[in-house]
Structure 1
Amino acid sequence: MITLQIEHQVRDFGMWRRAFDSDPLDRLASGVRSYRISRPLDQNDYVMLEMDFDTQEAAVDFLGRLQNDTWKTGVTAPALVGEPSTRIIETVAIENVSAR
């Protein structure tokens, strides 16, 4: 599994979440299989997002579209503070420790 990790500070989590939920890049059609939204317990203005893809190419394409369309002039731009930090990673193992 290939995952696009994104971390960034936001002006307001509710504003960011509404923009994210509007799905301007059509996650399903773009190959996103699932996603997780997290934030530090003591930092309500910071978001960590992980989006899973079947292929590296789909993740790279989606990231490029985010950088060109959404972060600079799109619906989520007003909610962001500074530049997001991104990376594409590959899951190499998943283990359920409670099953041991």
Structure 2
Amino acid sequence: MTVTLHIDNTVRDYDDWKAAFDQYERFRADNGVRTYRLGRVDGTPHRVLIDLDFDDRAAADAFRTALATVLATPRSRAMVISHDAWLVDLVEERISA
């Protein structure tokens, strides 16, 4: 069963934040992220929604703990105004042709 860590961030500057996000590609892969999706809220370009998919809840929980360490760094604190995250269990998925 896929578990998603859904993150809702408000960032000071999207381009700076995205450059930092890209530098953590290996970190995500090494910590069980299978796929991710990024979105920006229409009309609120500083609000970024991130969905990180994991194979199981244990991997998602472990990543959330590791992410807290990253968010505590001075660089992250300077970039991220607000952060909220929660786990979402995928209960149904339909892909239309």
Which structure dedicates a bigger proportion of its chain to helix? 2
Residue 71 of structure 2 corresponds to residue 85 of structure 1:
no
Shift of residue 29 of structure 1? Answer: 1.0
| RMSD over equivalenced CA pairs, Å | 1.6
- Confirm or deny: 8 A CA contact 1:5 1:50 kept in the other structure: yes
- How many residues are matched? 96
Which structure dedicates a bigger proportion of its chain to strand? 2
Identity within the alignment, %: 30
Q: Partner residue of 1:95?
A: 94
Q: Partner residue of 2:32?
A: 31
What are the residue-to-residue correspondences of 1:6-45 with 2, within 5 Å?
6-23=7-24, 26-45=27-46
Shift of residue 95 of structure 1? Answer: 1.1
Give structure 2 stretches of 5+ with no counterpart: none
State the AA in 2 paired with 1:92.
Answer: V
Distance 1:25 1:78 in 2: 22
Deviant stretches of 4+, over 6 Å: none
Q: SS at 1:49's partner residue? A: strand
TM-score by length of 1: 0.88
Residue 55 of structure 2 corresponds to residue 57 of structure 1:
no
Post-superposition Cα deviations, 1:38-59, rounded to whole Å, max 9, x if no partner, equal 0112111110000000010010
TM-score by length of 2: 0.90
Shift of residue 80 of structure 1? Answer: 0.3
- Confirm or deny: 8 A CA contact 1:7 1:49 kept in the other structure: yes
